[in-house]
Every structure is written in structure tokens, then in C-alpha cells.
Amino acid sequence: MLNITITETYDEMSALAAQYVVRALHEKPELVMALPTGGTPVGMLAEMCHLARVGAADFSRAFSFNIDEYIALAKDDPQSYYRFLAHHFYQHVGIPTANTFVPDVLADSLSAECDRYERAIQNHGDFDITVLGIGHDGHIGFNEPQSTHSPVCHVIDLNDETIAANARFFSRQADVPRQAITLGIGTILRSKAIVLIASGHSKAAVMKQLHDCTRIDPLFPASFLLLHSNVTLICDSEAASLI
Ligand code: GLP
């Protein structure tokens, strides 16, 4: 069973997740991080910014990789996941831009770009810490439920549920990209530590399923986390309400 910590509030969940990252940063200033996007990590990223501002965390030698990115949004598109991390994190903590990575979703050959991104991660010695969110269908990164999975970075077609869930960030559902590049589940599992955060009633069912899960099911991608020996789930009381 996966190790779970339940906090009373979203803010406590965020602070605890930030502490995991910052503790790892203290051990290794050249920390290699994979960071999530979406609604859930906003508080954690704000706390990491706060810790940097008060001098309790120095990200100037750290490296950060996006877990996923929409095809084919430019890096500076307001909806791009790179822009999300730049806006919520990079521009506040003095991490050098050269240390921040995202797949080039405008590349001529997306499969060659996936190979390049995977190699860039390996060349950095793989992730020291990966922070994940979770989709309502159990997706991690953009690894959607399906019968087979590419273990490495790849292009994925987003399913209707994911498109609908992410439509809240766009003015129209029709604007949500239909494809993305995501880290593979194997890429994620090579991370030395994994922290998964979840918040709110809408995540209660998926967190119960993850908490109770004892078998790997490709139709429930988060179940692959059972293969890793250093996973911490952190969720607030609403997301834990069915556990
Ligand atoms: C998106 C992202 C995931 C994220 C998930 C949950 O689909 N690709 O990486 O974990 O949404 O997002 P939220 O935190 O907004 O619920």
C-alpha cells in the first residue's frame, strides 16, 4: 500500500509538499525536479517561492523539467504549461532559464523531440524528485488510461474526460489542445522520490482507488506507482474523505 499523509487543509498539503522539495534541495543544491501543473500545485509552488524569498531555499543551481506540455502551444502562450511554471515559480526564485526544460511541442518531428527530452533527463542523472498531480481518471502526467503505455517520453492523445477537466483553464472547451507530450511512466519511476498531491472533493474517488489499489492496472495509470519504493501521497481532508 502507498504511504499517505492526510492534511486538514489545502494550505497544509501545499506546505508539506513544498517541504519535501526544499528538504531535497538542501541535500542537493543541483536538485533535478519534475514539476506538475494544474490547479493543485499552485499553493505548493507559492510556498516554494515564499521559502526562496525568505532565504530558506536557493533554487539558483536547481534544474526543473515540465512533466508534460500541450501540443502545439508556444512556450510563451498563456495556456502553455511552461508559462504556468514560469509564472508560478521560475520568475520568482532565480532559477536560471537555461536550467528549465520543456519539450519543444513546435518541433518538426515530435517523436525526435520526445527522444531528445528523454535523453536530456537522463543526461541530468534522472529526477531527484518528481511532484505529481492526478487526473480524475488516474492519469499521472498525461499518461491516460490505456491498455499499453510507452515507458518513455511520448506524444499522447488526450481523452474526453481530461479535455473536459482542463477546459476550465481555457475560454472555450474547443480551445483545449487534443494532444500533449508527456513523460512516460518509466521516466517518472526512475525518479529517486515521488510526491503526489491531491486536493478537493473531486479527487476523493480517485484517491480512494489509489489508496486501496494493490495491483498494477494500465487502465489506472497511477497504480504504476506501486512499483516505486519512495512514493508519498499527500492529500487534504476533502481528497481523503472516502479513505
Ligand atoms: C492535467 C495535467 C496533470 C495534472 C492533472 C491534475 O491533466 N496534465 O499533470 O496532474 O491535470 O490537475 P489539477 O491539479 O488541476 O486537478
Domain edges within the chain: 3-236
Identify the architecture of domain 3-236 in CATH: 3-Layer(aba) Sandwich (3.40)
pTM reported for the whole predicted model: 0.97
Q: Give pLDDT, residue 1.
A: 82
> Taking the CA of residue 192 as centre, how many other CA atoms within 13 Å lie in the half-sphere pointing to its CB?
15
Using the structure block, give the residue that is written with the C-alpha cell 543544491.
29
What's phi and psi for 121, nearest 5 deg? -65, -45
Q: Give pLDDT, residue 142.
A: 97
CA angle 189-164-89, nearest 5°? Answer: 55
| pLDDT tens by residue, the chain, 243 residues | 899 999 999 999 999 999 999 999 999 999 999 999 999 999 999 999 999 999 999 999 999 999 999 999 999 999 999 999 999 999 999 999 999 999 999 999 999 999 999 999 999 999 999 999 999 999 999 999 999 999 999 999 999 999 999 999 999 989 999 999 999 999 999 999 999 999 999 999 999 999 999 999 999 999 999 999 999 999 999 999 999
- Cβ count near 107 (within 10 Å): 16
* Residue 40 Cβ contacting ligand 1 at under 6 Å: yes
Please give the number of the atom of ligand 1 that sits closest to the Cα of 38.
15
* Residue 43 Cβ contacting ligand 1 at under 6 Å: no
CA of 100 to the centre of ligand 1 (A): 20
* C-alpha of 204 from chain center: 18
As given in the structure block, the three cell numbers for residue 126 are: 534522472
The residue nearest atom 1 of ligand 1, judged by CA position, is 38
User: How far apart (Å, rounded) are the C-alpha atoms in residues 65 and 61?
Assistant: 14
Q: What residues does 3 pair with on adjacent strands?
A: 232
> Taking the CA of residue 239 as centre, how many other CA atoms within 13 Å lie in the half-sphere pointing to its CB?
28
Q: Are 228 and 189 in contact (CB under 8 A)?
A: yes
CA of 166 to the centre of ligand 1 (A): 8
Ligand 1 pocket test target in 13, 37, 170 with most atoms within 8 Å of CB = 37
* Residue 67 Cβ contacting ligand 1 at under 6 Å: yes
Number of helical (H) and strand (E) elements in the chain, helices listed first = 8, 10
- According to DSSP, the β-strands at 3-7 and 63-66 are unpaired
Q: Give pLDDT, residue 87.
A: 98
Closest CA to 158 of 36, 75, 69: 69
As given in the structure block, the three cell numbers for residue 23 are: 528538504
* Residue 221 Cβ contacting ligand 1 at under 6 Å: no
Q: Give pLDDT, residue 88.
A: 98
Q: Give pLDDT, residue 226.
A: 98
The residue nearest atom 9 of ligand 1, judged by CA position, is 141
- Alpha helices, H only, 70-153: 81-85, 91-93, 110-123
